[in-house]
A and B are shown apart, each in its own frame.
Chain A
Amino acid sequence: MALLEINNLGISFGGLRAVDAFNLKIEKGQLYGLIGPNGAGKTTAFNLLTGVYKPSQGRVLLDGEDITGKSVIEINRTGVARTFQNIRLFHELPVLDNVKVGLHNQMEYSTLAGILRLPKYRKVEKEMNQKAMELLKVFDLDGDAETLAGNLPYGKQRKLEIARALATNPKLLLLDEPAAGMNPNETKELMDTIRFIRDEFDMTILLIEHDMKLVGGICEELTVLSFGQILAQGETSAVLKDPKVITAYLGE
């Protein structure tokens, strides 16, 4: 059974069919790419998957569980975590606390235990710190644990966002243009990191990207969207050679 199965997903905004008849199957441990020209509906598809928008048709199954139309929080708890195209960190919180917010539903104690500093608070906080530092170490951010997230350089902010998403212990990780605004060196480093996450955490990753080098380099399969519809789907090398895809990207 596929980890993520999307059947005939679609949404309309007024008369605009932003995403239509979207089908997708991702196996566990796969690195899957979603590409397409600007305005093709990629981020809309992400928003449908994560519950930001409610689909007007179709079904989404995660690990066999129907998550269609559930709320953002429920879908996150079921096991979908994401990053954002325009980075959304908790700017006024230290880097460590950003990850600890991600751990919010993984390690719990009550508000009262927090206010009264009960033993449970100390125990769980200690575990949280350890776990968060472990995650930061993966992204080479452990040295910046005390820095306010808003003061991090751009590349590190992108990494922190991924670390925070991983802290929610997801089954599926959605990356929305992780390489946006990165230089070739940073992109290369990011490619290694994404591969590493997949292997280390045994993660399934679906990513949106414009950088063809990154997509071609790490994605095993691709889906190409154009004007809300699937243009091509399949193995990366084959899809990238597809004349329809080349036309959509470069014009006639």
Chain B
Amino acid sequence: MNMIKSMSKTTKNNAITYAMVIIAFAVVQTMVMTGNITSLMNGLLVPLCTYVILAISLNLTVGILGELSLGHAGFMCVGAFSSSIFSQLTVDVITTGWMRFSLAIILGAIMAGLFGFLVGIPVLRLKGDYLAIVTLAFGEIVKNVINAIYVGIDEAGVHFSLQDVTSLGLSETGLVLIKGPRGITGTPKDSTFVIGVILIIITLIVILNLMNSRTGRAIMSIRDNRIAAESVGINITKYKLLAFAISAALAGVAGALYAHNLSTLTALPKNFGYNMSIMILVFVVLGGIGNIRGSIIAAVVLTLIPELLRSLNDYRMLMYAIVLIVTMICTWSPKIKELRERYSLQNWIQKKKHAKEVV
């Protein structure tokens, strides 16, 4: 009996999360169809989906695995550029838009996951702050390498250069893929809000199902007590790497979505740098570490607030800091915790029930 109850509890919780996403999608989609949405907001929809996916996927590393990663934007960058190059190369070969885009997303996920795996091997030996610093460095390295590199392709194969386009020495039919700081231009604009929401749902399915499976329990047991997990035969390295790689792969999916929403993709500090990684981390922390639904809400709210307060845009990062501090205080301060418990909705309902029973 208890078992059924506990199972339905998590199932119920997950169902609420899915329902929330689907309802929000339905509302926004109706607004878009009826034209009741500003062009500013309309342009924000795909990035919003990107941020939501990033927040959910980072929660796997930070909340479920319990390791602080500051390089999430780096994995997103890998996914964005690899999928973008793929789309450019195949734009004439695969003419069906959705098929090309699906393949691009899968490739982006695989590449980012591969990077996650490779970076994870040395990095996951570290703990806490050290891990954070190394992942931060990884993110910056990826961004800066892409910013400096020129890649072109022709019949002779792939050409690399660190100077400029002409030094690539391409033949006349050659195609320049990455133009250093000018990035990639001409990626087909395949991303739509609908695809974004579908990707969010897929990400949710992956993460929530993972959490409630044998693998997820192993990952969480490592977070809670590494020594005990090892003592019951959990392979620490394997599950850490697995969680890290899945998290990175999903960031790659977000990157692919992001890249196919822009005609020019450049690796700026703004979109793939340290600020981005921190912003994703803020979504996760504000939404509640390990709380997937919270991540989604935080990502949406924190993306919308600065856009709605455009005039304050210069103070955006400052506002993040303030919101972060205030939320932290509200979450952890014993006094406020007490207040929250006293006035929580659940408590109130229970009291009502209790009162009824007494009567």
Q: Mark B85-98, 1 if CB is under 8 A from A, else 0.
A: 00000000000000
Chain A residues lying within 8 Å of B335, measured Cβ to Cβ, are: none
Chain A residues lying within 8 Å of B209, measured Cβ to Cβ, are: 114-117
The CA-CA distance from A92 to B205 in the complex, in Å, is 22
Chain A residues lying within 8 Å of B212, measured Cβ to Cβ, are: 114
Name the distance in Å between B331's Cβ and chain A's nearest Cβ: 15
Q: Mark A161-183, 1 if CB is under 8 A from B, else 0.
A: 00011011000000000000000
Q: Indicate if the CB atoms of B217 and A104 lie closer than 8 Å.
A: yes
The CA-CA distance from A101 to B225 in the complex, in Å, is 12
Closest to B206 in A: A115
Decide if A69 is an interface residue (CB 8 Å cutoff).
no
Decide if B106 is an interface residue (CB 8 Å cutoff).
no
Q: Which of B1-9, B32-40, B123-131 participates in binding chain A?
A: B1-9
Decide if A121 is an interface residue (CB 8 Å cutoff).
yes
Restricting to B229-251, which residues have a CB under 8 Å from any CB of A? Answer: 229-235, 242
Name the distance in Å between A109's Cβ and chain B's nearest Cβ: 6
Known interface pairs A90-B221, A115-B206; A50-B231 also in contact (CB < 8 Å): yes
Name the distance in Å between A231's Cβ and chain B's nearest Cβ: 28
Q: Mark B1-36, 1 if CB is under 8 A from A, else 0.
A: 011011101000000000000000000000000000
Decide if A133 is an interface residue (CB 8 Å cutoff).
yes
Chain B residues lying within 8 Å of A98, measured Cβ to Cβ, are: 221
Interface residues on B, range: 20 to 34
Q: Mark A77-116, 1 if CB is under 8 A from B, else 0.
A: 1000110100011111110111011101101110101111
Q: Indicate if the CB atoms of A145 and B229 lie closer than 8 Å.
A: no
The CA-CA distance from A209 to B3 in the complex, in Å, is 35
Decide if B158 is an interface residue (CB 8 Å cutoff).
no
Decide if A143 is an interface residue (CB 8 Å cutoff).
yes
Restricting to A141-194, which residues have a CB under 8 Å from any CB of B? Answer: 142-143, 145-146, 164-165, 167-168
Decide if A238 is an interface residue (CB 8 Å cutoff).
no
Chain B residues lying within 8 Å of A84, measured Cβ to Cβ, are: 227-228, 231
Decide if B142 is an interface residue (CB 8 Å cutoff).
no
Known interface pairs A109-B214, A114-B210; A168-B233 also in contact (CB < 8 Å): yes
Decide if A76 is an interface residue (CB 8 Å cutoff).
yes
Decide if B216 is an interface residue (CB 8 Å cutoff).
yes
Q: Indicate if the CB atoms of A145 and B228 lie closer than 8 Å.
A: no
Name the distance in Å between A129's Cβ and chain B's nearest Cβ: 5
Q: Indicate if the CB atoms of A115 and B235 lie closer than 8 Å.
A: no
Name the distance in Å between B193's Cβ and chain A's nearest Cβ: 25
User: Of A72, A105, A107, A125, which is within 8 A of B231 by CB?
Assistant: A72
Q: Indicate if the CB atoms of A101 and B229 lie closer than 8 Å.
A: yes
Q: Indicate if the CB atoms of B224 and A77 lie closer than 8 Å.
A: no
The CA-CA distance from A102 to B214 in the complex, in Å, is 10
Q: Indicate if the CB atoms of A105 and B233 lie closer than 8 Å.
A: yes
Q: Mark A28-63, 1 if CB is under 8 A from B, else 0.
A: 000000000000000000000010100000000000
Chain A residues lying within 8 Å of B231, measured Cβ to Cβ, are: 50, 72, 76, 81-82, 84, 88, 165
Known interface pairs A104-B214, A104-B232, A114-B213; A90-B225 also in contact (CB < 8 Å): yes
Main secondary structure of the interface of A (DSSP, over half): helix
Interface centre among B9, B206, B209, B213 (most CB of A within 10 A): B213
Closest to B220 in A: A93
Decide if A73 is an interface residue (CB 8 Å cutoff).
yes
Chain A residues lying within 8 Å of B221, measured Cβ to Cβ, are: 90, 93, 98, 101
The CA-CA distance from A142 to B225 in the complex, in Å, is 23
Chain B residues lying within 8 Å of A116, measured Cβ to Cβ, are: 209
Chain A residues lying within 8 Å of B205, measured Cβ to Cβ, are: 115
Decide if B182 is an interface residue (CB 8 Å cutoff).
no
Chain B residues lying within 8 Å of A114, measured Cβ to Cβ, are: 209-210, 212-216
Name the distance in Å between B45's Cβ and chain A's nearest Cβ: 27
Q: Mark B115-134, 1 if CB is under 8 A from A, else 0.
A: 00000000000000000000
The CA-CA distance from A107 to B210 in the complex, in Å, is 16
Chain A residues lying within 8 Å of B257, measured Cβ to Cβ, are: none
Interface centre among B9, B210, B224, B227 (most CB of A within 10 A): B224
The CA-CA distance from A133 to B217 in the complex, in Å, is 17
Top 5 nearest A-B pairs (CB, nearest first) are: A114-B213, A88-B228, A90-B224, A76-B233, A111-B215
Known: A84-B227, A98-B221. 10 other contacts (CB 8 A): A73-B235, A88-B231, A92-B224, A96-B3, A113-B213, A114-B214, A115-B205, A133-B2, A145-B2, A164-B228
25 contacts across the A-B interface (CB closer than 8 A): A50-B231, A72-B231, A73-B234, A76-B230, A76-B232, A76-B233, A88-B225, A89-B224, A89-B225, A96-B6, A100-B217, A101-B229, A104-B214, A104-B218, A105-B233, A111-B215, A111-B242, A113-B213, A114-B210, A115-B205, A115-B209, A133-B2, A146-B2, A146-B5, A146-B9
A residues neighboring B (CB under 8 Å) = 50, 52, 72-73, 76-77, 81-82, 84, 88-94, 96-98, 100-102, 104-105, 107-109, 111, 113-117, 121, 124-125, 128-129, 133, 142-143, 145-146, 164-165, 167-168
B residues neighboring A (CB under 8 Å) = 2-3, 5-7, 9, 205-206, 209-210, 212-218, 220-221, 223-225, 227-235, 242, 290
